[in-house]
Amino acid sequence: MRRLWLIAAIAVLVPSLSACRDAQPIEPGRWTGYVTPPGMNSIESTFNVAYRGDSLEVRIAVKGMDDEFPFHNVLFNDETMRFWWQPLMRVDCELQPDDEGVYRGDCRDPDGGIGPMVMAPPNVIPRELVEVEESRLNAEKWDRRRELDLIDGLLGKMFDVGGTELNALVEGDGRVSVVLMSDIGDDLRTWDYVVDEVKDFARVMSYSRPGLGYSKESPETTSLEQAAVMLRELLEAAGVPPPFVLVGHAFGYAFARAFASEYPDDVAGMVFIDPVHPSEGARLRELDPVEWDKHWSQKMAFVEMLPEPVRAEYKLYEDMLEESGLEGIDAAPDVPAVVVSSLRAAETPRWVGETIEGIQVKDRLHREIAAEFTKATHVHTGESGRYIHREDPDLVIQAIREVVSQ
């Protein structure tokens, strides 16, 4: 339910209005402190703060790891700094400065977990170094936080599916049903910017897979085929009929292909947002085996810190890359498709996937995905990172509209 910092993403600059910078400047340089992701242990960290024109860039460097991870949508209001991180699973943070300029606060996930965070500016040592234990609320506090979130935060409804309960949001109406399928560990909130527009021309359902967001864990072992069967049961329980246009983000590509393989007659079209090609790992490793192996080992080390439902999805992802294919998944259906690719370059590549050569590899792989369909369009953007549906939702909405219209 809590997500891995985006290691494999193309670098993201955090937009910030110049007025915000003037109203609440934050000193550039290397800040220090700790962060405790909800449900995880405290991690000693360095926060690299920089201005690039009117954009503020904040990246967290974790002790013992070489990669840095970006914060997103950094905003200041009444001396309070707000941002979200772990873009594969949104965690909202809110910090306030003390008289030393040290920012302190909490990060909260949609499931009610809370983790403290401290950011001390360059050359400042906080008066108190708080001993932070593992950030897990006791049952009473956890239940109360969940109740509050259910009042103002739960989207959609809970449905009994396959021996568990899944959270789904169904909006709009129309001849076609659009099904939004998220990346590893993302819940339905990742589609906030897309649903409100798509519901005007189609029925649209976003949902959280077992153990993510408000959805409860499933007693069944995770597999792509089981995920497809469970999704079909959820669609029936939620009253969402075929034909379906499947929209998959990143590894959501694999979940969409598995569903189309199990229920080809129900699928009318497909949209892939910066999809992960099964051969991506092998192709990038060919470019630079040392950097790829280093990147992958660091990523898997981080995965071990995550809750079991997220680790289970990463195991599917790892299996796909090791096999360079989707075992047991049939060929792509004969339906219209759109592939939307992020080709934004990083100013300072941190791993082989962010180099120009790595981006070119991804472009070729996305062309291969489009070539699997007889009626496919390949769309590029250099303005967004891999979360195109959050950074440039209009581009994704237009792709969905194009497939629905066909």
Which tens digit of pLDDT belongs to each residue from 294-348? 888 878 877 876 778 888 999 999 999 999 888 888 899 999 999 999 998 777 7
Q: Please state, in angstroms and rounded to a whole number, the distance separating the CA atoms of residues 269 and 174.
A: 15
Greatest mean pLDDT among 31-45, 82-96, 154-168, 296-310 lies in 154-168
What DSSP state is assigned to residue 127? S
Cβ atoms < 10 Å from Cβ of 390: 21
Contacts 24+ apart (CB under 8 A), 234-238: 234/159, 234/161, 234/166, 234/168, 234/207, 235/177, 235/179, 235/205, 237/159, 237/160, 237/161, 238/157, 238/159, 238/168, 238/170, 238/205
Q: List, for residues 140-196, the tens digit of each pLDDT value.
A: 433 433 443 444 457 899 999 988 999 999 999 999 999 999 999 888 988 988 998
Instruction: Summarize pLDDT for 183-199 with one digit per residue, the tens.
Output: 998 889 889 889 989 99
d(CA 226, CA 214): 19
3-state DSSP assignment of residue 97: strand
State residue 258's pLDDT score: 96
